[in-house]
Amino acid sequence: MSATIHCGTQKNLARLARVLKRGGLVAVPTETVYGLAANALDAEACRRIFRAKRRPANDPLIVHVADLDTLSHIAVPNEAAAKLARAFWPGPLTMVMTRTAAVPDVVTSGLPSVAVRMPAHPLLRRLLKICRLPLAAPSANPFGYVSPTSAAHVLEGLGDAIDHILDGGPCRHGIESTIVDIRAPKRPILLRPGVISAAQLSKVLGVHVANLSRRQVSRKPALAPGMLARHYSPRRPLALHRRITAAMVARAGAGDVWICFRKPSWAAAAPNVFWLSERGDLAEAGRRLFALLRSLDRGRWIRLHAETAPSRGPGLAINDRLRRAAGFRS
């Protein structure tokens, strides 16, 4: 592993800003997951992202901006974007908007739209202000694998493919941003659930935010990242269950490992039973999901089993990631 992990000193941030300005790649922390960043206005730099991740060219990138002035340079503003930005930025919300000519085709997979967000992580915000560039940054992991929520995860997955990782500690949310298509301000569409819910978006916009249609799910290139049927996936097969019981665990083989949503009363010291939150807290469960999947995927287990979360709030995003991790098999 050749990548260097940098702590967030002013000197290191200045150095990493120079790397980005020269067309290099830097893995960066966000409040959602770690991203692999490049200058979003440099087509060749963005191609390096695709090569490092082995990412298909028909999967567009999210562009991260420091302020609304940068947003207006890469996307066509509208009333809905202004309302959502006031309510949720900086934060874990990505908006799909009509792009400007400043954005290279490689970033948008040739689409006339661009996905943009203003991150809340303080280190990334400082880096954005120092380099004065919009940064394209998909998750900093090999394409399709479980998203990274720590610098160590990035090193494990991309350490041989990149040179620089900015360590911002564990991610606050651990689930990728909510994505909403607001190109038609009166007909917004939720493309990917996240910790910001469709109900919260609807309240701010004053109109109903619809879910993605089947036609939009199947279109290629996708309108935004994270819309593939199989994504965020461990290497071992994953099966989903509405409820995991002691009887199911007792009947299973020694190679099966179980992830409950909350700590079950019957778990005791079972070495193959884990949980996302001892008390059933949705925010904690989302924060721990990817790290636990990665940890178990490295272990001796043959098959992974996971219990879905309650279908409310962040639970909708957790279940979306679990279904994609399982390839919608369960």
Residue ranges and CATH numbers for the domains of the chain are 4-218 (3.90.870.10), 238-325 (3.40.50.11030)
> Do residues 296 and 328 make contact, with C-beta atoms less than 8 angstroms apart?
no
Residue with the bigger pLDDT between 228 and 330: it is 228
| 11: confidence class by pLDDT, cuts 50, 70, 90 | very high
- Give residue-wise pLDDT tens across range 34-45: 999 999 999 999
Mean of pLDDT values over 243-266: 94
Residues 6+ apart with CB under 8 A from 2: 159, 160, 163
In this prediction, residues 276-291 reach a mean pLDDT of 97
Q: Are 239 and 303 in contact (CB under 8 A)?
A: yes
The amino acid occupying position 38 is: A
With pLDDT > 90 as the criterion, what percentage of the chain qualifies?
89
Strand partners, 180: 95, 190
Q: Please measure the distance between the N-terminal and C-terminal CA atoms of the chain and give it in whole angstroms.
A: 35
Q: Specify the higher pLDDT residue, 262 or 232.
A: 262
* Residue 60, phi then psi, degrees to nearest 5: -65, 165
Give residue 220's pLDDT.
63
Q: Tell which residue, 96, 253, 61, has the closest CA to residue 181.
A: 96
Cβ-count burial 4-34 (b if 16+ within 10 Å, e if not) = eebebeeebbeebbebbeeebbbbbbbbbbb
Please state the separation of Cα 97 from the chain's center in Å. Answer: 19
pLDDT at 243 over 80: yes
How far apart (Å, rounded) are the C-alpha atoms in residues 154 and 136? 17
- For residue 177, report the phi and psi dihedrals to the nearest 5 degrees: -65, 150
Q: How large a percentage of the chain has pLDDT more than 70? A: 96
pLDDT at 330: 43
Q: Report the pLDDT value the prediction gives residue 320, as an integer from 0 to 100.
A: 95
Residue 217, pLDDT score: 53
What are the pLDDT digits (tens) for 208-240? 999 875 555 555 677 877 777 778 899 999 999
pLDDT given at position 125: 98
What's at 329, amino acid-wise? Answer: R
Strand 26-28 to 93-98 pairing: unpaired
60-118 confidence digits (pLDDT tens):
999 999 999 999 999 999 999 999 999 999 999 999 999 999 999 999 999 999 999 99
User: 48, 39 in Cβ contact below 8 A?
Assistant: no
Is it the case that residue 325 has pLDDT exceeding 50?
Answer: yes
Q: What is the mean pLDDT of residues 145-155?
A: 98
Q: What is the mean pLDDT of residues 113-128?
A: 98
Separation between Cα atoms, residue 87 and residue 164, nearest integer Å: 33
Q: Report whether 40 contacts 133 (CB < 8 A).
A: yes
> Given pLDDT bands bounded at 50, 70 and 90, which one contains residue 1?
low
Let me know: does 119 contact 62? Beta carbons within 8 Å.
no
- Give the pLDDT confidence of 156-188 residue by residue, as tens digits: 999 999 999 999 999 999 999 999 999 999 999
Q: What is the mean pLDDT of residues 301-317?
A: 96
- Which two three-digit tokens encode residue 301? 């287990």
Mean pLDDT score of the chain: 94
